[in-house]
């Protein structure tokens, strides 16, 4: 299966560079990280100031459900400038036509959106095929800077059209070597005695089996109305692939709690990569503040559902 994916990363880079050179007008801005720093503290959080994304990106959609119905009247990826589509590929045994689309408000170089079966207009609810694409991309590349992320509705998703983010982060992130406590098989939780960040982690062993396990976890969270973020990364030594799963409290619906002026918390931030669009917040941000925002968003949900997730994974 990975043979279908072998050249994807090099092709993404080539097409993205070509797009920036020959069609720069399709980007809402030229990526310009004006400031960057590592926060003082235990976790070495990477903070970047990207003011253009805060002011020039497309207005995020507000969600009222974790399992929304696709709305063709709202923005979706069938409405983009066709030049934004870098290429399409038929992937997986299911012959899934998958679009690789530039993110026209990029956080990093080579920031793209992976949209499975774009014309089918699937809502932003994770599917088994979508997970399998992410797993296969991660196993097919030796490039440690490649990261993949997903935000569910209620966990800072901004478009109700199924997609993954692929980013290129050349810095070390704390999740790459954060200590883990085994729950069952290859499913772990972050060691919350040493790290005040709640979350779960799967260490990839077998793509097919692990897709099944993680998809059941996703289904459980959808059934229980638990928003969630997923982050795929290689470990610090690049010997393993880590898939982090961050359940969230149900507090990000409605008009007032989406994309606030405070630090927004999505898969990027939870991984330790913190893009900021505000000068004042950039200058004042501390590790203590970041951890407090994480706690505000995640709360005690991981403790509440740990045994359920453990049993789900064990039953596969």
Domain boundaries in the chain?
2-314
- The whole-number average pLDDT for the span 280-294 is 94
Q: What is the pTM of this model?
A: 0.96
Class (C level, CATH) for 2-314: alpha beta
Are 23 and 30 in contact, with CB atoms under 8 Å apart?
A: no
pLDDT of 259 strictly over 50: no
- The whole-number average pLDDT for the span 277-301 is 92
Start-to-end CA distance of the chain, whole Å, equals 22
Which DSSP category does 165 fall into? Answer: E
How much of the chain exceeds pLDDT 70, in percent?
A: 95
Give the C-alpha separation, 49 to 52, whole Å: 9
Predicted confidence (pLDDT) per residue in 124-180, tens digit: 999 999 999 999 999 999 999 999 999 999 999 999 999 999 999 999 999 999 999
Predicted confidence (pLDDT) per residue in 58-112, tens digit: 888 888 899 999 999 999 999 999 999 999 999 998 899 999 999 999 999 999 9
pLDDT of 257 strictly over 60: no
Alpha-carbon Rg of the chain, whole angstroms? Answer: 18
Predicted confidence (pLDDT) per residue in 100-133, tens digit: 999 999 999 999 999 999 999 999 999 999 999 9
Specify the pLDDT at position 253: 59
pLDDT of 2 strictly over 60: no
Structure token digits, residue 239: 């010997």
56 φ, ψ (degrees, to nearest 5): -115, -10
């Amino acid at each position: 299966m990975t043979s279908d994916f072998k050249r994807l990363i090099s092709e993404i880079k080539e097409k993205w560079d070509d797009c920036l050179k020959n069609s720069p007008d399709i980007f809402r801005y030229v990526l310009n990280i004006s400031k960057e720093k590592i926060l003082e503290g235990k976790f070495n959080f990477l903070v970047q100031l990207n003011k253009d994304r805060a002011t020039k990106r497309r207005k995020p959609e507000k969600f009222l459900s974790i399992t929304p119905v696709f709305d063709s009247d709202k923005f979706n990826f069938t409405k983009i400038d066709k030049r934004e589509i870098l290429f399409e590929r038929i992937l997986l045994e299911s012959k899934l036509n998958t679009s690789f689309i530039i993110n026209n408000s990029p956080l990093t170089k080579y920031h793209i959106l992976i949209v499975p079966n774009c014309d089918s207009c699937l809502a932003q609810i994770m599917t088994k095929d979508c997970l399998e694409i992410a797993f296969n991309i991660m196993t097919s590349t030796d490039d440690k800077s490649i990261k993949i992320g997903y935000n569910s509705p209620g966990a800072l998703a901004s478009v109700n059209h199924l997609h993954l983010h692929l980013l290129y982060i050349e810095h070390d992130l704390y999740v790459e070597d954060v200590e883990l406590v085994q729950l069952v098989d290859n499913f772990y939780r972050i060691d919350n005695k040493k790290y005040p960040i709640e979350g779960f982690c799967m260490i990839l062993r077998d793509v097919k089996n692990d897709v099944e396990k993680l998809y059941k976890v996703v289904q459980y969270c959808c059934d229980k109305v638990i928003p969630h973020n997923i982050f795929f990364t290689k470990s610090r030594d690049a010997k393993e692939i880590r898939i982090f799963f961050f359940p969230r409290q149900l507090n990000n619906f409605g008009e007032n709690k989406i994309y606030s002026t405070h630090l927004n918390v999505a898969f990027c931030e939870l991984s330790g990569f913190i893009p900021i669009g505000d000068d004042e917040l950039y200058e004042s941000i501390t590790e203590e503040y970041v951890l407090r925002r994480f706690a505000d968003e995640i709360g005690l949900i991981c403790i509440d559902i740990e045994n359920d997730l453990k049993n789900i994974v064990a039953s596969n």
